[in-house]
Amino acid sequence: MLKKLFSKSKKGKHSLEVEESLVNNECLPSHIAIIMDGNGRWAKKRAMPRIAGHHEGMQTVRRIARIADDVGIKVLTLYAFSTENWKRPKSEVEYLMSLPQMFLNSFMPELMERNIRVEMIGDKDGLPTNTKTALNEAIEKTKNNTGLILNFAMNYGSRAEIVKAMKDIMVEVNNGNLTLDHVDEKTINQFLLTSSLPEPDLLIRTSGEVRLSNFMLWQLAYTEFWFTDILWPDFNKDTFMEAIQAYQQRNRRYGGLKGE
């Protein structure tokens, strides 16, 4: 039976296949955000180095992007590297920073064929040159594509994003371009890194962790959460479709009463 809000799925590779035909195409989540977690644990379980888990996780990104595109999702935001991840061992960080170039170079022909647009949220200036170059090139090459938006959260931290938005608003107020009376939720949304995107309808987190980890704290105010014990490299089509089906069982009230 599908779980309700804050539910956790424990289904794995051997679960019954979730049929695409059971998904209601008329109420698909427009924007799905995923906290991809468990690469290191996946590798440890196999007595492999952590970077092997990150490499396999990159392959999962490719598979899930294809499925999201096939299903008709409009935006897929993937939490790829947080502002806190710099605390990890230098060798692991260096490998993580090399993944965007590896991924985007190999996936670019298919991104263009599928009409997928690459975007990024986060502090791009704080990234190594090769990482930043790879992202900039992908964003430029795909900027005219009109299909799925594949949005990477790189060097991203939600609190830093909100602080920057507040500072930028204060500058506008001090310069006389904005008055305090006109600072509302809509104004704040316009100063966030996600200003051009709809707020996420569904948040998925893998690996059994049940927290947000400084991810899109403002934007997730009315998002439906779905957690699974499955590690990110093992996340597959069945699990993705199960999450979408669970979302479609929810009654999104936005503070109102059921049925309103």
Annotated binding site: 37-42, 50, 54, 82-84, 86, 88, 205, 211-213, 224
Q: Does residue 36 contact residue 80 with C-beta atoms inside 8 Å?
A: yes
DSSP character at residue 16: P
Annotated binding residues for substrate: 38-42, 50, 54, 82-84, 86, 88, 205, 211-213
Annotated binding residues for Mg(2+): 37, 224
**Element (H or E) spanning 39, and its range?**
helix 39-45
**Which residues, including other chains, have CB under 8 Å from residue 70's CB and lie 6 or more apart?**
none
Q: How far apart, in whole angstroms, are the C-alpha atoms of residue 46 and residue 41?
A: 9
Closest CA to 8 of 248, 258, 239: 239
| Active site positions, annotated | 37, 85
For residue 155, give both structure tokens.
């060097």
CA 91 to each of CA 4, 39, 51, 87, 131: distance values in angstroms, whole numbers, following the listed order: 40, 15, 9, 11, 15
